[in-house]
Structure 1
Amino acid sequence: MDKFADMTLFVSIVKNQGLAAAGRELGLSAATVTSRLQALEDRYRVKLLNRNTRHISLTDSGALYHQACLEIIENVRKTESLLQTGTKEIRGSLKISAPRDIGKQYISPIISAFTKRYPDVVPYLYLDDNLSNLTESGLDIVIRYGELADSRLISRKLASSRRVLCASPDYLLKKGTPTCPQDLLEHDCLSMIRSNEELKTWHFEDKKHHRSITIVPQRFSDDGEVIRQWAIQGAGIALKSELDVREDIKQERLVMIMNDYMTNFNAFTSSANADLNVLYLSRHHQPKRIRLFLDFLIEHFSTYISSD
């Protein structure tokens, strides 16, 4: 029993001043319209229309029903329009900064999926391995490993990760596999540059000791993706985030080494984690497009977050 369809039918009968004309408008036969009107009157046990071969008129009950039908149909129309407009109103720019590896492997596909849902959002994706001052950069969202020391920012974890040492199978076959931090001094290492600082002091922790080794890098880059590609090509050992090289390890393009050690670019403190976080400014009236993208981003990464 489709009451809304019956309301639409009844309004059409009144508007067209006839059952046959209403049938033509709705693509129904005259017999079907007559049968449905009779069923409607039987359901409510009232006469809705006075009709003869040439004319129809509303009864008192029919007038009440007709007015109610008009109001309900209009409310449904407004609701549908509101829902459609709600999607269209999600518009404007969305400025996102992410590390190059993460940006290309994960964030770019997420943006593509998001803009299919909200085509009037115009994304700007900045691939940058350096830390950004979000309050001065004009960015809406920054995705980074670890935390940024700014109390004005909200930080939410996207995925658990850690720093790992890795190299290609060919490199390890030729140069051997280091087993302790000191061994790295005899190996070709690949160093990141961040904000003009050469990250060549690597920190290690095992069950008993904390130690730091200053490597002698064979190559430097401020682009994490370049470091990863050099490692795949057999140029040396890289210190990377596990999330960056997860697929390379799965496909055996890279091998993790010295797994008994925790590794990092920074000395180990309570805040020196390597989890992937999304950071954004705290705003009382956050634009809806930003709120929606944050939810979309966090939902996508939920499978990567380890349970506490």
Structure 2
Amino acid sequence: MDTLKDLKFYILLCREGSLSAAARKLDVSPAATSKRLAAMEKRLGVQLLNRHTRAMSLTAEGELYLQEAQLIAARLEHLAERLDPHRGEIRGALRINASLGFGRKYLAAVVSAFVRRYPAITVEMHLSDHPVDLVALSFDIGIRFGELPDSTLHARKIANHRRLLCAAPAYIEHAGTPRRPEDLTRHNCLILRQNEEAHGIWTFQRDDERLAVKVAGNLSANDGESVVAWALDGHGIVQRAAWEVEPYLRSGELVEILSRFALPQADISAVYHYQHFVPPKVRAFIDFFAAHVETATLPSGPTPL
């Protein structure tokens, strides 16, 4: 029995998300992949995965096994690096998850500069319209915005970052300028439907005053770029992070609204699942990303820490 091969097989299986996808990656039949998983579970005496018709999910034991497998694999990779004559060189495969818009506009450039700086690194960047389970899908790093949910993951805040309300001058000329958050109930608001957040509830803070306003409008989407595009076309008021709208504010295509009232922060964080040992490649990328933000790669919204 080759335990290390089993660990690597299980990590790959979880990363690919299905037996058939893992089989294609390994160039074997799905039946062979299923048989290998069943043999592993029999040896361990536990069920690692729940099999469904089109997908699979981790059991509690399967999640624990994955966490430990990733830790062992990372330690072995680090040991190999220490024994390597090129010791100290940042190397290995790095898997990063981020949102579609931020990934396309900013993170891709960071990755490009990172692999130029560390040519022995390979990066797989996966962009999604909602945060994914980093552990279950074997991602090393996730780039997240705003308040982070309670979890066993570790996070490093990269920068403070604001959310803004804005609209096109043409919309303001037609509909008027809201003076207080309550005024938004009389305006067309462009709703972003993402994650598990309450849709159409916008919260504001000014001194000790906190307001939650139920807004509505005739346009909604699960994609941030779409609602910004609608705002640019004069359809209504949009709430977005500064990195996405500040170029349009500088050009005058959008104007900020209710700037005296603070929206929930969109702070930028790098999230990772490693507990006691963080691989050098992960530390290197997070440091590199933080330095990239600090040198004003993003719009003026973030305040680097």
Q: TM-score, normalised by structure 2?
A: 0.64
- Residue equivalent to 1:288: 280
Alignment of 1:81-120 (within 5 A): 82=85, 87=89, 90-92=91-93, 94-120=94-120
- Residue equivalent to 1:140: 140
Q: Gaps (5+ residues) in structure 1? A: 1-80, 265-272
Return the alpha-carbon distance in structure 1 between the equivalents of residues 251 and 126 of structure 2: 28
Alignment of 1:186-265 (within 5 A): 186-195=186-195, 199-207=199-207, 209-264=209-264
Verify: 1:306 aligned to 2:303, yes or no.
yes
The alignment partner of 1:290 has SS state of: helix
The alignment partner of 2:135 has SS state of: helix
- Which deviates further from its counterpart, 293-302 or 94-103? 94-103
Return the alpha-carbon distance in structure 1 between the equivalents of residues 197 and 280 of structure 2: 38
The alignment partner of 1:137 has SS state of: coil
The alignment partner of 1:194 has SS state of: coil
Return the alpha-carbon distance in structure 2 between the equivalents of residues 200 and 148 of structure 1: 20
- Paired amino acid for 1:306: T
1:6-42: CA deviation from partner (whole Å, max 9, x where unpaired):
xxxxxxxxxxxxxxxxxxxxxxxxxxxxxxxxxxxxx
When the two structures are aligned, how many residues end up with a matched partner?
Answer: 217
- Paired amino acid for 2:91: I
Distance verdict in 2 for CA 1:275–1:151, change over 3 Å: same
Identity over the aligned pairs, expressed in percent? 32
Verify: 1:123 aligned to 2:123, yes or no.
yes
Instruction: State which of 266, 279, 293 in structure 1 corresponds to 2:271.
Output: 279
Return the alpha-carbon distance in structure 2 between the equivalents of residues 277 and 197 of structure 1: 18
Q: CA RMSD in A?
A: 2.5
1:197-241: CA deviation from partner (whole Å, max 9, x where unpaired):
552011122235322111112211111122222222222111111
The alignment partner of 1:239 has SS state of: strand
1:33-65: CA deviation from partner (whole Å, max 9, x where unpaired):
xxxxxxxxxxxxxxxxxxxxxxxxxxxxxxxxx
1:54-97: CA deviation from partner (whole Å, max 9, x where unpaired):
xxxxxxxxxxxxxxxxxxxxxxxxxxx955x754x6132x2212
1:226-273: CA deviation from partner (whole Å, max 9, x where unpaired):
222222222211111123222221222221111111123xxxxxxxx4
Q: TM-score, normalised by structure 1?
A: 0.63
- Paired amino acid for 1:219: L
Q: Whose radius of gyration is greater, 1 or 2?
A: 1
Report if aligned partners of 2:192, 2:223 keep a CA contact under 8 Å in 1: yes
- Paired amino acid for 2:294: S
The alignment partner of 1:263 has SS state of: coil
Return the alpha-carbon distance in structure 2 between the equivalents of residues 189 and 160 of structure 1: 25
Return the alpha-carbon distance in structure 1 between the equivalents of residues 108 and 95 of structure 2: 12
- Residue equivalent to 2:61: none
Distance verdict in 2 for CA 1:111–1:284, change over 3 Å: same
Distance verdict in 2 for CA 1:307–1:240, change over 3 Å: closer
The alignment partner of 2:229 has SS state of: helix
Distance verdict in 2 for CA 1:135–1:303, change over 3 Å: same
Return the alpha-carbon distance in structure 2 between the equivalents of residues 274 and 288 of structure 1: 27
- Residue equivalent to 1:27: none
Return the alpha-carbon distance in structure 2 between the equivalents of residues 250 and 126 of structure 1: 30
Return the alpha-carbon distance in structure 2 between the equivalents of residues 275 and 180 of structure 1: 24
1:252-306: CA deviation from partner (whole Å, max 9, x where unpaired):
2221111111123xxxxxxxx4211111113434333222111111111124653
- Which deviates further from its counterpart, 104-113 or 277-286? 277-286
- Paired amino acid for 2:281: R
Distance verdict in 2 for CA 1:153–1:197, change over 3 Å: closer
Return the alpha-carbon distance in structure 1 between the equivalents of residues 145 and 294 of structure 2: 16
Report if aligned partners of 1:130, 1:195 keep a CA contact under 8 Å in 2: yes
Return the alpha-carbon distance in structure 2 between the equivalents of residues 222 and 152 of structure 1: 27
Return the alpha-carbon distance in structure 2 between the equivalents of residues 274 and 200 of structure 1: 17
